[in-house]
Amino acid sequence: MITSIIHPLGSLPLGAAGTDFGWLTELFVSQTVTQSIIVVCAVAAIGLALGSVKIRGVGMGIAGVLFIGLAFGHFGVVINPEVAHFVREFGLILFVYTIGMQVGPGFFSSLKKQGLSLNILAAGIVFGGALLAFLIVHFFGVHPAAGVGLLTGATTNTPSLGAAQETLARLQGGSAAEAVRLSGLSYAVAYPFGIIGIILAMQLFRRLFRIDLTLEERSWTQAHESNLPPLIRLNLTVKNPNLEGRSIGQIPGLASSGVVISRQLQDGKLFVATTDRIMKVGDTLLAVGLPEKVEEVRLAVGEESPLDLSNMPGDVSTRRIVVTRKGAVGKTPLELGLEQIHGVCVTRLSRAEVELPHPAAIRLHIGDTLTVVGAAAALDAVAGKLGNSMKDLNHPEIIPMFVGIGLGVILGSIPVHFPMLPSPVKLGLAGGPLIAAILLSRIGRAGPLMWYLPTNANFLLREFGIVLFLAVVGLKSGGSFVVTLTEGDGLWWIIMAAAITFLPLLAAGLIGLLALRINYLALCGVLAGSMTDPPALAFANSLSSSEAAAVSYATVYPLTMLLRVLIAQIFVILLAG
């Protein structure tokens, strides 16, 4: 009956092509490319479903793919080794490259000002965990491959595991398969407490220091607003007789203040306030800028006016225009001639929802939003010059992505010799694309190539890449996972991984709260960012409606990710080389 359903003619004997279940057995059992793809897809789908299940707001997230891969591997599911190697490495490349594209524009600025202390604290956590892992291998006889797996798993950093495994394969050649498997196995054992340990550390500090979340949220908001004051508008009446007959651009201190004069009311008529407009005593000007700078301009001009030019009817209007055209990238509004050619005034420039001072002198990136004041026809012309097309903004540039990945792979293959190390260090397939993406996204454009990925495209590629990597890691390590936990060194590994996770966090938290006086919510973001752990960040965000945790997480994330990728390789070279 079944045979006749599979082959309706029923004329071929059982076992002939198309009449039995041999094709089905081959599809799921034999290690073909087709079978490998099906298995990886199954692990990914089931793992993501498992990771979406949350208990008290916390779930495994992407780590669910790893544990489903372990389960498949435990029950004997094996895929083609060559396919597995390619899928794992390519998934890792996609993941780290998209991370670099995301954090690159803000990477160098995160190392300045208030971000410096947070990055130093996060770097201390990274080095503290690496030191503990080194001591564990040296004094407790743990295999170096297992040690690097414990380090990367306890710190929940998958790219560093990929970098370590690649270094193991390069150093040990044909004998590296067992070391790579061992590192993946210890990573899987250490990973769960890596997530739980960060959350426990946050809760411990909250109880130990009797943190009032409401007070912490209020204090962070006040401090943040004082550090990053918003731009304001102020209407000014020209009272200074020395400004009679002078141009707006000649107002003392205006050019260096970053304040923009956007509108001018003269003799009852409203004009766009270009820098060459002549002033009269009694004119009303609309100034936009940082509060203290606007106040300096007010002292030079006259006094605050009761009129509000922003709501006054006339031929002058305001429009928000998004930069989407390649030709505008890398140029300033001044170089584009927006004022000189089109007679408009750029009053604000917003990048990643942050308003930046001195808008006329800032080099534009794709996605920047400009607030422009001018006549309707002029605003239309400026919109055409800048692009202002959301359709273009959401369309990813594919060629630069492949060029960037290729350059990253080449960069990662360059050996760098250090005097204290027996073997050269390579950024590898994890570090090379990461560094390339950071640099290229910072540059933004080179000729016709523009390195920009829309947020939705970046997120899709990043999640796709890490899912592929974790699925293969789980499948390759699953065969001995349960045995290691129940009969092998699994219990000791868990204890050691807990120390690697918790002790550096404990030390950093005490230093941050007692010595540096860091806001508790911001500290939670640093702890999560130092481990590059999104589930921990989700928990920190759930403590408050404030953005404190997310801001500090983003501040330390780029440097932390880079350090973890490099340190994992140095760890392998020192102990397993």
Q: Write out the DSSP string of 504-550.
A: HHHHHHHIIIIIS---HHHHHHHHHHHTT-HHHHHHHHHT-SSSHHH
Summary mean pLDDT of the chain: 82
Residue 501 has a pLDDT of 94
pLDDT of 175 above 80 = no
At 100 the pLDDT is 78
Residue 265 vs residue 161, higher pLDDT: 265
> Confidence band (pLDDT; 50, 70, 90) for 575?
confident
What is this structure's pTM?
A: 0.66
pLDDT bucket at 232, cuts 50 / 70 / 90? confident
CA distance 569 to 56: 36
pLDDT at residue 228, as a whole number:
46
Question: Any alpha helices (H) in 228-290, and if so which ranges?
Answer: 254-257
Q: What is residue 9's predicted lDDT score, i.e. its pLDDT?
A: 37
Could you give phi then psi for residue 416, rounded to 5 degrees? -120, 125
More confident residue, 537 or 116: 116
Tokens for 396, please give them: 């990813």
Quick: pLDDT tens for 333-372: 888 888 888 888 888 887 755 566 678 788 887 878 898 9
CA distance 362 to 194: 41
Q: What CATH number does the domain located at 229-392 have?
A: 3.30.70.1450
273 versus 108: the higher-pLDDT residue is: 273
Mean pLDDT, residues 225-237 taken together: 71
Q: 103 pLDDT band (50/70/90 cuts)?
A: low
- The per-residue pLDDT for range 306-331, each reduced to its tens digit, is 998 887 877 788 899 998 887 888 78
pLDDT exceeds cutoff 70 at 461: yes
Considering only residues 496 and 546, tell me which one the structure prediction assigns the higher pLDDT. 496
Higher pLDDT, 221 or 440: 440
Cβ neighbours for 406, distance < 8 A, ≥ 6 positions apart: none
Domain boundaries, the chain: 1-30, 229-392
Helices (H) and strands (E) in the chain, counts: 22, 13
Indicate the residue type of 253. G
pLDDT digits (tens, 9 = 90+) for 495-528: 999 999 999 999 999 999 999 899 999 899 899 8
Query: Could you tell me the pLDDT band of residue 6, with boundaries at 50, 70 and 90?
Result: very low
Whether pLDDT at 181 is above 70: yes
* 305 pLDDT more than 90: yes
Which pLDDT score is estimated for 8?
41
266 vs 102 pLDDT, higher one: 266
* pLDDT above 80 for 541: no
